[in-house]
């Protein structure tokens, strides 16, 4: 089980190697990864299934982006050779930046960042191709909170969306994609400039996937009446309303988000209850209007 009790000893070893005060470490997030802030660094501990090879790819992408002056979080110079392997976990150590609590990153700023990233050539690393269907299938199979009816429903929906995907022609083409761009995956440098973070999902895929991710976050998590997605598309410079297949892509992205959270959630938790609420919403007419709670 990927829980804090399991990652605290890993953090302690990182702090020992870097001569950092473990007692001052603050847990920032414990979901996909365990993320701790201590002194001037952020320590990111991946679950065992992430793998050291994948972590090496993340490090290479981050270093390549930094070398091209792309606004991103930099790896910490405290640890010249990354990633670390501690037990079953791959660990990376990053420069600590402003969490932007006082001035959150806007969707317009995110649009500028994604536009610049999508204009870059493919990095010189063997990136995986985007595989949303395999991701959903694995997550549904590994979830401990789904019953047979839920699994059947999600996989039938996946089958329908797979047929739609196979017919899609992506007008923007392929490039490096971040795979989960959202305002929570962007930070500010201490001079206020926004930067993109979290390269765990870096892949080669249609640029529209990143845009659909932003659209889903805006429709599911933004306050009613928000102009956040319009602000994003204006800054990015492309309006997906001109592409008729965009809604099916958004539905696929939503399904992947539901399946991923189903895999990560444990029975009896708030997260599990939210996953079941989202699945129930998919059964209902007008589910596109349903707001989701952030997990």
Are 77 and 209 found together in one domain? no
**Which of the listed residues 75, 95, 115 is the one where a domain comes to its end?**
95
Q: What is the mean pLDDT of residues 146-167?
A: 96
What CATH number is associated with residue 36?
A: 3.30.200.20
Q: What is the pLDDT of residues 233-258, one digit of tens each?
A: 999 999 999 899 999 999 999 999 99
Show which of 61, 95, 129 is a domain's final residue.
95
Task: Choose the final residue of a domain: 67, 95, 123.
Answer: 95
| 204 domain residue, yes or no | yes
Do both 84 and 118 map to the same domain? no
If asked whether residues 227 and 254 sit together in one domain, one would say yes
For the stretch 214-239, pLDDT in tens is: 999 999 997 766 789 999 999 999 99
Q: What is the CATH number of the domain that holds 197?
A: 3.90.1200.10
Number of domains in the chain: 2
261 in any annotated domain:
yes
pTM (predicted TM-score): 0.93
Structural domain containing residue 84: 4-95
- Does residue 18 lie within any of the structural domains? yes
Residue 288: the pLDDT is 55
* Residue 295 domain flag: no
Is residue 149 included in any domain, yes or no?
Answer: yes
Q: How far apart are CA 10 and CA 217, in angstroms?
A: 32
Say yes or no: 142 and 245 in one domain: yes
Higher pLDDT, 98 or 24: 24
Confidence of residue 184 (pLDDT cuts 50, 70, 90): confident
| Range scoring the smallest mean pLDDT among 62-66, 121-125, 213-217 | 121-125
Q: Quick one: 71 and 155 in the same domain?
A: no
100: in domain: no
pLDDT of 286: 55
């Amino acid at each position: 089980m990927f829980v804090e009790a399991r990652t605290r000893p890993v953090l302690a070893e990182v702090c020992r190697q870097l001569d950092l005060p473990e007692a001052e470490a603050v847990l920032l997030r414990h979901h996909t990864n365990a993320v701790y802030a201590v002194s001037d660094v952020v320590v990111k501990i991946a679950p065992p299934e992430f793998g050291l090879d994948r972590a090496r790819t993340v490090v290479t992408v981050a270093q390549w982006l930094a070398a091209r002056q792309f606004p991103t979080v930099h790896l910490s110079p405290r640890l010249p050779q990354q990633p670390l392997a501690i037990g079953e976990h791959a660990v990376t150590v990053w420069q600590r930046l402003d969490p932007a609590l006082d001035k959150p990153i806007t969707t317009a700023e995110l649009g500028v960042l994604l536009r610049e990233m999508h204009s870059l050539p493919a990095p010189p690393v063997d990136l995986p191709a985007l595989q949303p269907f395999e991701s959903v299938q694995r997550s549904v199979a590994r979830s401990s909170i789904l019953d047979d009816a839920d699994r059947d429903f999600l996989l039938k929906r996946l089958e329908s969306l797979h047929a739609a995907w196979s017919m899609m022609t992506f007008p923007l083409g392929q490039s490096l994609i971040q795979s989960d761009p959202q305002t929570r995956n962007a930070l500010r440098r201490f001079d206020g400039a926004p930067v993109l973070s979290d390269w765990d999902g870096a892949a080669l895929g249609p640029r529209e996937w990143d845009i659909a991710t932003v659209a889903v976050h805006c429709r599911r998590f933004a306050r009613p009446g928000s102009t956040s997605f319009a602000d994003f598309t204006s800054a990015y410079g492309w309006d997906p309303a001109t592409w008729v297949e965009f809604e099916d892509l958004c539905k696929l992205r939503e399904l992947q988000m539901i399946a991923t959270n189903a895999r990560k959630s444990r029975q009896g938790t708030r997260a599990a209850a939210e996953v079941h609420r989202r699945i129930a919403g998919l059964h209902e007419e007008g589910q596109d209007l349903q707001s989701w709670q952030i997990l």
